[in-house]
Each structure stands twice: as structure tokens, then as C-alpha cells.
Structure 1
Amino acid sequence: MISTSPLPDGISWVHNAAGKAFVEIEHSNVRARVALEGAHLVSCIPSGQADLLWMSPCDAQAPGGVLRGGVPLCWPWFGNSRSGPAHGIARRSLWQLTAAERDEQSVRLRLELPATTQHDALPDESWALSLELQLGTSLQMTLTSRNTGRRAQTLSQALHTYLPVSDISEVRVAGLNGATYLDQLSGSHQVQQGDLMIEREVDRIYLQHSQPIYLSDGQRTLEICRSGSASVVLWNPWQDKARKLDNFPADGYRTMLCIEAANAAADSRTLQPGEHHSLGCSIRQI
């Protein structure tokens, strides 16, 4: 829902050629764009840097569709862990912008998923859900869930972040050495040995892990830090699956890697009435 309240300078409403509504940020330290559908951050470009996020060049970003790239919000379930749409309802719903501020360093946005939207999709649950974004020389995202019901409620979730790389063959991911992961392709648990290099399809949930992760591609290094997260998802569809994905170029797997702050698999969270949980992620070039 588009608010009629005035926005600070450099923060504006725009519609793309397909008619999809976005909040657009023009600041001395950053340019960014967020879709109201899904509270979906599609671009974050700190001054003097390349975009921190990857978006599919063949996605028309039309209204009513799930975007391919940026930061889809998986909530209140990750993957197909519950019946219903893959990755839950948040990325398919229309959010409200409830706060927008700027100062010399950054822009801060707060978006909320309306209670009526949640009730229509999840009539047996009661949540308050918000996303806070701080956009500047780095990117910070915080997804907060509060149990507003009268019984315990369980959620799994992820900030499904697509990160750009110059070429997947040059990628090295540090910070995972010694971590146990669930290989979702084989169903087995394995232990990461050394840095990760991507040479085939990857679909993994690293467990009991909370340390920073470093993504290097020979041209720059991104630091990914998480909070409220003891699991992290790494995903690249590789060549065969890339051809089957909607709004994804056949060679798109070569220029992206998802590294997702998550509460997935054994890291799902159960909140008692009145309790809240915040899943956070920050990304910066170092």
C-alpha cells in the first residue's frame, strides 16, 4: 500500500514500465530500490561500488509476480517445509511502508505486513511482521516476527539474498571451514573442508554456524554477517537447473550465488505468546 504521507528528500515512489510500485532511494552514499510487493529489495548500490545484489536481467518485474534476485523474504516457512506456496507468504504479499528516515550517512525504511493479509493467508496464526532496512555504505536488513497469538507458534525463514559475482568459477567462500551442512541434493550431512569453491549445483544448509562469511570473486570481497541466525543457506542452481527456472537466464548461474541468513532445518524457532525474534544480515564490501 502506498502511503500519502510526504517522504524525506531523496526517497520517492516510482513505478517501472510494467506498473510495479517501488520505493526509490537517491542518497549521496547509496542508490537503492525496494518493491512493495514482498518488501523486496532489488538493488543496493553504495557510492563508488557495484550493486551488492544480483537481479535477473530477464525478469520483467511485473506486478503480481515473484521477483528473481535481490532479497526475497522467505516467511513463515523456508522451502517446502509446510503446505502452501514455496517459501511462505511474505514474498507474495503487498507490504506497507510505515517509516522512512534519512541522515547524512544512510536511509532507514520500515515495512510491515498488514495483519489482515496475514489472517487471510494464515487464519490459524497471529503474527506481527516487520522489515527494517538501513541503506548506506553497507546494507543492513532485520526481519522481526512477534507472536501476537495465544499459543506457541513455529517459524522457519530466510533472507534469500542473491549476490553478484564476476564469474562463478573464480568464487571462493571463506568462513565455513569445519561447519556441518545438510546437502539438500543428497540428504546427507557433511563437514566443510577449507574454503568453498563452486564447481557444480550447490544447495546446502550450514548448521550451528553464526560467524562472518566472505565471498570473493577475484574483483572484490563481500563480508556477510548475520544475527539471530544459526543456519545459513548457500545455493547456486548450476547449468541444468538454470534452464528450468522462471525469469532466469540460461547462463545466470555464472554470475550469482545465494548466501542466505536463515532459521532453517534444525534452526527453526518456536515463539511463545508475546515473544519476538529478529533475523538480521549485513553486507559490505571490504
Structure 2
Amino acid sequence: MTDSAATPPLPNGITYDTNAHGRVILTIEHPNVSARIAMTGAHLVSCRPSGEDDLLWMSPVDEQKPGTALRGGIPICWPWFGNDRMGAPAHGVARTADWQLDSVTVEHQQVRVQMSIPPETLNSLLPEERWAVSVEFVLGRSLAVHLTTRNIGNEPQLLSQALHTYLPVSDIASAEIHGLTSVRYLDKLTDEDRPGQPGPLTITQEVDRIYYQYAGPVRLSSAGKKDLAITRNGCSALVVWNPGPEKSTTLSQFPANGYQHMVCLEAANAGPDKRLLAPWESHTISTTVGY
């Protein structure tokens, strides 16, 4: 977080809080929604519409210590996704960067939060590249995240990214993902390109797939929970990820049974949907989650 003298004043219902380990959280209390955003990573860790369950899953064993990439919520994977860059940290630099708060607007139905990574921070993290990046959260009865990247250099730059959205399910055995019938996907576990499955997608083991050439909505259902509707803009790829029982035991800040209660459905510019941004070109990727 930047110096307090440079941060905008906070409206009523918006506060900075510090957890037990010293991590700074922007806390939002509005008649329609309660939400929390970690300043490091601009990481939305919770969004609970009034009277509803949280729209996001957060690992119950993640202590959310400062400087760490959090397990759950919506990590921002930027400006590369996964292991796209050899020898570089997985999922880019945004998840552990210190973002600044640019503005908070409280509206009748929702709250808008705008954040960015300061230029000096980006220059330090990516000295050979020239980027500007900002994110807008729109939080109310549903949530929306809009991540905007601009190439501010004089050469084209390759961008891959994802809004790594962890969604809750009552039990993965009862979960169904609707909307991906016959959509082709890249299986990251085998590096094979596969035709889409018939009917809704169910998960019985580790899954790591990039569904591509599909920009339509998907719907997540599980027993005893309201269906969640997920829409995307600025991408034709959707990452579906669940670690399964074996990998769950190897992940940091992740309970051994965590795979039973979550699935990631991620708006992504990844795999065949990576983008080459021309000098001064900008691109926005968005995801929305709601009932």
C-alpha cells in the first residue's frame, strides 16, 4: 500500500484493516455486500452479498501472511499465466506486488474499487518491459473484476493472464459445470488437445484444462447450493482447475480435503488465447460471478 498521504479518503463503510499477521486488507461494508480485498496482489478474498453465501472460496488454512500469494479468492495472474516464462515465478508478478488504491465509489446498489500497480513498482519487477496495469472491482449482489493492461513501450509485448477465480461447491462429487459441451480444450496434464465432453463437465480427479474458442457463459451447480453464473469478456479461454486428492496434499496453504469444496473457473488469455499487444495498445479482461 502506498503512503497514506497519497491514498484517497475512504467513504463511510470502507476501512483499512490489518490481520493478525500484519497484512493490510481493504474492508467493504455496504447494505448489499460485504467484501475484503488484500492490498498486496489486489486480491479479492471475499465477496458476500447480503443474506447469501460467499461467492468465493478461500482456503481455511491460509493464514494470509504478508508478502505471500493467497490460496483462494481471485488471484490476479499477470502478465503471464502458469509457467509461460521459463525460470520465472509461476503466474507472474501481480499476485505478490503492492498495489495502490486509486479510488472507491459507493453507489446505491454496489461499490466500485479501482487499484493499480505504481509505475516504480512495475519498473522494479519487470525492468525489461513497459506495462501499465489497473483493476476495477464492482461489488454488490454479484461481483465483477475488470483487469486492464496497456503496453506503454515501443515494441510489441506478449501478454498471458488469468483471473484465477476459486468458487465454492458443497462437494465436488455433486458439482456440474454447464456450458462447455463440445468445447475443445488443452489438457495441461497431458499436453493433449481434446474435443469437448458431451453434457455438463463433472470432476472425479485432478483437472487442469484450458477450454478455448468459447466466450459464452458457464454455470456451476452443486447439491444444496444456488447455481453460480460466470460470464467473461476480453477472452475466449476458460481455465478449469481442481487439484484432486493427490495434488491437494502437496499444495501450500491448502487443506488435504480442499479439492472437495472448490473449483476454479478462470477467465484467461492463455494457451491459444495469448495476446500480443502493440505499442500503446490496451486490453481488458473481465469476469463476473453471481446467482
TM tier, smaller:
over 0.9
Shift of 1:240: 0.4
* Pairing of 1:88-107 with structure 2 (within 5 A): 88-107=92-111
Which residue is equivalent to 2:136? 132
RMSD: 0.8
Q: Do structure 1's residue 159 and structure 2's residue 163 form an aligned pair? A: yes
Structural mapping, 1:106-185, within 5 Å:
106-185=110-189
**2:208 aligned partner, one-letter code:** D
Q: 266, 269, 278: which one pairs with 1:272? A: 278
Q: Report the TM-score when normalising by structure 1.
A: 0.98
In the alignment, structure 1 residue 7 sits paired with structure 2 residue 10: yes
Q: Distance in 2 between matches of 1:122 and 1:65?
A: 19
After TM superposition, list the pairs within 5 Å mapping 1:31-110 onto structure 2.
31-83=34-86, 84-110=88-114
Residue-by-residue CA offset, 1:84-133 (whole Å, 9 max, x unaligned): 11000000100000010101100000000111111112111111100000
Q: What is the aligned length?
A: 285
Q: Distance in 2 between matches of 1:269 and 1:199?
A: 32
Distance 2:269 2:9 in 1: 36
Residues 157-200 of structure 1: per-residue CA shift (max 9 Å, x gap): 00000001000001010000110000111111112221101111
Of the three residues 191, 201, 209, the one matched with 1:196 is 201
Aligned AA for 1:258? C
TM-score by length of 2: 0.97
2:260 counterpart of 1:254? yes
* Structure 2, unaligned runs of 5 or more: none
Match 2:241 to one of 235, 240, 249? 235
Would you identify which runs of 4 or more consecutive aligned residues in structure 1 move more than 3 Å?
2-5
Gaps of 5+ in 1: none
CA shift, 1:48, in A, is 1.1
Q: Distance in 2 between matches of 1:63 and 1:92?
A: 9
- Residue by residue, what CA displacement relative to the aligned partner does 1:227-274 show, whole Å, maximum 9, x if unpaired? 001101000001000000001000000000000000001100011111
**Equivalent-residue separation in structure 2 for 1:212 and 1:278 (angstroms):** 17
Partner deviation per Cα, 1:4-46 (whole Å, 9 max, x = no partner): 4320111110001111001000000000000010000000000
Structure-2 separation of matches of 1:53 and 1:40: 12
Partner of 1:205: 210
Cα distance in structure 1, aligned partners of 2:158 and 2:189: 25
**How far apart, in 2, do the equivalents of 1:164 and 1:149 lie?**
40
Mapped pair 1:221 → 2:227: yes
